[in-house]
Chain A
Amino acid sequence: MSVATFAAALLNPAAPCPSGLVTWNGSDAAQRFGVYRNNVTVSLIEALADSFPIVQQLVGDAFFRAMAGEFARQSPPTSPVLAWYGDAFADFVAAFPPVAGVPYLADVARLEYARVLAFHAADADPVPVAEIAACLNDADALPALRLQLHPSLQVIDSPFAITSLWGAHQGSGDLADIDPAQPECALVLRHGLSVEVMAVPAAAGRFIDALQAGASLGDAVQQASDGDTHFDPTPVLGLLISRELLIGLGRKNQQQGEKS
């Protein structure tokens, strides 16, 4: 028996007990293997339930566990870090036929996984406010300024009201008042030790996407304005500063800083 055979049998409840297993006291190896196989699957389902509590609430415990079990058999962990288990879960949910009637479920899963990533993202010291203010002394250089953003910051632009749906399960807002088909752009970030989720205008999301892709401040404002001529970068810049998400400033032809 190879390790691969053993591993494959662990994830397939219909597979026979691998041959060649022995027990220390002569008890039935097949029965013991069955117990172990069950524990493996259950532990993976529990890990997913911990990372995706709102998806679980949206479809109910029994359905969630069946769906998570299916995922676990198809996509066993590739990393020993259980916290990262589920990075492919949202894609799986999107393609899982039984939840075709809950089209927003996959994006809610994306939002929940973004929270896991934000929670475990590296710490990064913010640029002192005085240093940001000093940029105003050289306004001509502002369009070419590069803003390096905190590694926890993520944008999830969805055709569904994912922030409102998620928020309704945190005690803010009433589920009955939400139109799930309302597009929402979610921002996930960690400020200090707390992970925050908020809805921002889609243009603000594009602005952050552009900055993260390496665009200069001027180009990022331009890209955000392309789909929304009224885009004003003030609120989103205020948010980046107040949540301490600006972790580096640089000029156009400079490196983005040692942490990028």
Chain B
Amino acid sequence: MSQNNTSRHVSAAALALALGAALTVAASPVMAADAAKEKCYGVAMKGKNDCKAGAGTSCAGTSVRDYQGNAWNYVPAGTCEKTASPTSATGMGQLKEFKEKKA
């Protein structure tokens, strides 16, 4: 399909160059964003959870206590159980929701 764009000052070639370069620029972050994530319970500061904060709250950003045991954050896969959580019985984040111990 060809178009008559004689009134345009921005050439199709320049846009193709920019879009092509932009795709290259964007390539690596997109890969990074696709990296494996896991839900990690008990590591979110209050109001910073990604989702699920139990009865009385609905979704992201609604946890009411730091390290709330039923609120989770997405973290890079493999790091959850290495993240400190003072409310967790193991002392680290957990892959399932848990009942908090006193921090």
Contacts and interface: CB of A to CB of B under 8 A. Distances in A.
B13 A139 contact: yes
A239 B28 CA distance: 12
Contacts of B18: 221, 232-234, 237
B10 A140 contact: no
Interface stretch (A19-27, A72-80, A141-149): A141-149
A101 interface: no
Contact of B5 (A138, A144, A191, A233): A144
B10 A143 contact: yes
Interface string A226-259: 0000001111011111111000000000000000
Contact of B3 (A129, A144, A191): A144
Contacts of B24: 238
A222 B26 contact: no
Nearest to A190: B60
B55 interface: no
B10 A225 contact: yes
Contacts of B33: 191-192, 242, 244
A238 B3 contact: no
A193 B23 contact: no
A135 interface: yes
Nearest to B32: A242
A142 to B, nearest CB: 4
Given A140-B1, A141-B3, A241-B22, A193 B74 contact: yes
Contacts of B16: 136, 139, 142
Nearest to A216: B8
The 5 closest A-B pairs by CB, nearest first: A238-B25, A237-B22, A241-B26, A242-B26, A242-B29
B23 A241 contact: yes
A132 interface: yes
B51 interface: yes
A182 B33 CA distance: 33
B23 A132 contact: yes
A233 B3 contact: no
A141 B16 CA distance: 10
B2 interface: yes
Contacts of A233: 15, 18, 22
